[in-house]
Amino acid sequence: MDQNVKTYQLLAEKFAQWAQGEGGIRAALMIGSRARADHPADQWADLDLIVVAADPGPYLASSAWLSAIAVPWLTFIETSGDGRVLERRALFEGGLDVDFAFLPLEMARQMAQFGLPPDVADMFRRGARLLLDKDDLFASIMDLAGAPLPPVSPPSPDEFMNLVNDFWYHAVWSAKHLRRGELWWAKSGCDDHMKYLLRRMLEWHARLRHGPEHDTWLRGRFLEEWADPRAVKELHQTFAHYDAQDIWRALFATMDLFRWLSYEAAGSLGYGYPRLGEQHATGLVQELLETGTAQG
């Protein structure tokens, strides 16, 4: 067994032993790369744990309990991707990185009774390993572990149109802030919000090309494998340095890439496209660039 894998396995076992004697902890599961067969953990992977607690508060308010598992170097609190769950992340001695996602007991009971949210179900299907379950909460849910991923429905016409309009609106928004000299906000618009919308379009485009079963993972994981190779090749042009001229360049590159992806997606779906709005937005961005260049 690889030493890295063995070390994390021992850490998970140490946590399970501690949690067994901790009345407030009711269940714990390992998810992520260290629990899945497809794209398994490599030497850089962390350890992802879902921890069900009667009251997560004490474990989030204090980090003292971490010392029962290993020597912590760093620890902090953050929210999960969907904002529903608080996580304590810890970097332990030796660089071992662990994410403890605390699930309130009542929320876990509701999931066991009514089913998992789609994103959580997705994680379980990719792989989950039960470490502790004092109340048999996950007896039925664990059947999902390793089950095939369901096909993903294409966006509705309203969902598609909303995202496209959002993108072109924020192209103008980013250009205005860039024209004002607010580089931080302009770069955030181009390299944060617009990239989020671009990534969603990349997912839709890939599934339209390869079928609804095509796996686009979660929040851009392994994008280089599942996205259109033409788009992947162009992505390096779409991110900017903290420099006005380079943000302009990246903004137009992002717009160009989104344009052909969304045109092709709209054609495949048989949906309408706000061509006039896109043309006006593109013209405004170009005008803002040229006005600033002329004055400079």
The SS3 call for residue 245 is helix
Please count the structural domains in the chain.
2
Averaged pLDDT for residues 1-15: 81
Residue closest to 168 by CA, chosen among 97, 259, 94: 259
Any domain includes 150: no
Any domain includes 149: no
For the cut 90, the answer to whether the pLDDT of residue 12 exceeds it is yes
Q: Calculate the alpha carbon distances from 246 to 18, 278, 285 in Å.
A: 52, 22, 15
The residue type at 134 = K
Examine the domain organization and report whether 221 and 120 are in the same domain: no
Q: What are the tokens at 66?
A: 């971490």
Examine the domain organization and report whether 193 and 269 are in the same domain: yes
Per-residue model confidence as pLDDT tens digits over 55-66: 999 999 999 999
Examine the domain organization and report whether 165 and 129 are in the same domain: no
Examine the domain organization and report whether 34 and 120 are in the same domain: yes
Per-residue model confidence as pLDDT tens digits over 115-169: 778 778 888 888 889 999 999 988 877 877 777 888 899 999 999 999 999 999 9
Which sign does the torsion angle of CA 67, 136, 46, 6 carry? positive
pLDDT band, residue 234 (cuts 50/70/90): very high
Examine the domain organization and report whether 114 and 201 are in the same domain: no
Any domain includes 129: yes
HSE of 64, CA atoms in CB hemisphere, 13 A: 3
Host domain of residue 75: 3-144
Q: What CATH number is attached to the domain comprising 209?
A: 1.20.120.330
Examine the domain organization and report whether 122 and 168 are in the same domain: no
Examine the domain organization and report whether 130 and 214 are in the same domain: no
Q: Which of 109, 144, 179 is the last residue of a domain?
A: 144
Q: Which of 144, 168, 190 is the last residue of a domain?
A: 144
Any domain includes 252: yes
CA dihedral in degrees (42, 100, 144, 212; nearest 10)?
-70
For the cut 70, the answer to whether the pLDDT of residue 4 exceeds it is no
Relative to beta strand 129-133, strand 25-31 is: antiparallel
Examine the domain organization and report whether 124 and 218 are in the same domain: no
Q: Which of 88, 116, 144 is the last residue of a domain?
A: 144
If one compares 157 and 218, the residue with the highest pLDDT of the two is 157
Enter the pTM of the model.
Answer: 0.88
Q: Residue 80: what pLDDT?
A: 77
Examine the domain organization and report whether 91 and 209 are in the same domain: no
Examine the domain organization and report whether 212 and 101 are in the same domain: no
Any domain includes 166: yes
Examine the domain organization and report whether 223 and 90 are in the same domain: no
Examine the domain organization and report whether 210 and 137 are in the same domain: no
Averaged pLDDT for residues 200-211: 97
